[in-house]
């Protein structure tokens, strides 16, 4: 068992403690925001960034549930050194409740493993979907942010999360193919939402902050000129050997190498996202609305 792993028994004890303390601090109105982390192609460090953003947000005082919804390469559990016993599919089939599926990570984040349950949302009838979403609505009592590690590419299953979420965090690297595919995601999301979306761009694995800023400006300019949309700049995360060491140790970078250049950059990006989260959520948004929109989006097309 790699360093940082948590036994199933320890997971259950920690989950009861975390959920209990979170519910005691519930606010009168839910201000939960859903944020989907997407990328135009694989290999840009999207999942690793999502995990560490979640850690940084918790450090900033936010309660975070991290949904691992990367259908092609779900690996948040590996990055965090945990072995979830159940996933969203057990909720979809009515076999488990939310508190049985949530897996506590050592850093205070609650992991909601997606598994095949994400695609299963599209197969439910209206009544079963309503019952499931009623169960999922409990997330609003224990979280301020639902952070979704979605997939890569412009497939419908991936982009459905960007359509459904309050905000899309689009990750790219400096590679020309990554930049091109990130623009492809923006174009497809614009068509799907009519341009009514909130996108924040993060440049990962850049040689310098100057390079990242330059890449972001190119994408922002193209999005404004050809898509008539505004894209926010969340920041740049520089290339850092500490990232690979953290991945191999199965411990998030912000815990294993908190003072590394990449960790500091991720904390800076998280601070910007938290500031956005603290603004009033769009009308009608929240966990129920997110999962209804997601199910409908997944059910469209073939």
DSSP string, 227-239: I---EEEEEEEE-
Q: What confidence score (pLDDT) does residue 210 get?
A: 99
Residues 67-111 have pLDDT tens digits of 998 765 668 988 999 989 998 888 888 899 999 999 999 789 999
Residues 189-228 have pLDDT tens digits of 999 999 999 999 999 999 999 999 999 999 999 999 999 9
Q: What is the mean pLDDT of the chain?
A: 86
φ, ψ for residue 170 (rounded to 5)? -95, 120
Q: What confidence score (pLDDT) does residue 3 get?
A: 46
Element (H, E) at 1: none
Q: Where are the domains of the chain?
A: 31-298
CATH homologous superfamily for the domain 31-298: P-loop containing nucleotide triphosphate hydrolases (3.40.50.300)
pLDDT of 11 strictly over 80: no
Q: What is the mean pLDDT of residues 55-71?
A: 92
Which residues 6+ apart lie within 8 Å of 4 measured at CB? 80, 81, 106, 249, 250, 251, 255
pLDDT of 251 strictly over 70: yes
pLDDT tier at 284, thresholds 50, 70, 90: low
* Cα distances (Å, whole numbers) of residue 302 to 41, 71, 147, 155, 157: 21, 16, 26, 11, 10
pLDDT tier at 158, thresholds 50, 70, 90: confident
Q: What confidence score (pLDDT) does residue 288 get?
A: 84
């Amino acid at each position: 068992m790699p360093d940082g792993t948590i036994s199933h028994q320890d997971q259950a004890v920690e989950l009861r403690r975390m959920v209990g303390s979170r519910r005691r601090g519930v606010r009168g109105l839910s201000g939960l925001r859903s944020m989907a982390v997407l990328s135009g192609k694989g290999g840009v460090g999207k999942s690793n960034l999502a995990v560490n953003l979640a850690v940084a947000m918790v450090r900033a005082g936010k309660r975070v549930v991290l949904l691992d919804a990367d259908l092609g390469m779900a690996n948040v559990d590996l990055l965090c050194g945990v072995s979830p016993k159940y996933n969203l599919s057990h909720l979809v089939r009515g076999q488990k409740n939310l508190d049985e599926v949530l897996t506590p990570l050592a850093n205070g984040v609650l992991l909601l493993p997606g598994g095949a349950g994400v695609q299963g949302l599209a197969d439910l009838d209206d009544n079963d979907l309503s019952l499931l979403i009623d169960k999922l609505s409990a997330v609003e009592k224990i979280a301020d942010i639902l952070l979704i590690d979605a997939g890569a590419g412009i497939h419908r299953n991936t982009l459905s999360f960007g359509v459904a979420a309050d905000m899309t965090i689009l990750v790219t690297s400096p590679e020309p193919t990554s930049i091109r595919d990130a623009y492809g995601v923006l174009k497809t999301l614009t068509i799907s939402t009519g341009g009514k979306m909130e996108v924040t761009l993060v440049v990962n694995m850049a040689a310098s902050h100057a390079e990242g800023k330059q890449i972001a400006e190119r994408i922002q300019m193209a999005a404004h000129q050809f898509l008539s949309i505004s894209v926010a700049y969340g920041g740049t995360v520089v290339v850092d050997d500490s990232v690979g060491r953290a991945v191999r140790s199965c411990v998030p970078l912000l815990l294993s190498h908190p003072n590394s250049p990449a960790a500091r950059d991720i904390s800076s990006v998280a601070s910007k996202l938290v500031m956005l989260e603290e603004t009033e959520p769009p009308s009608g948004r929240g966990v129920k609305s997110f999962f209804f929109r997601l199910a409908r989006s997944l059910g469209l097309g073939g």
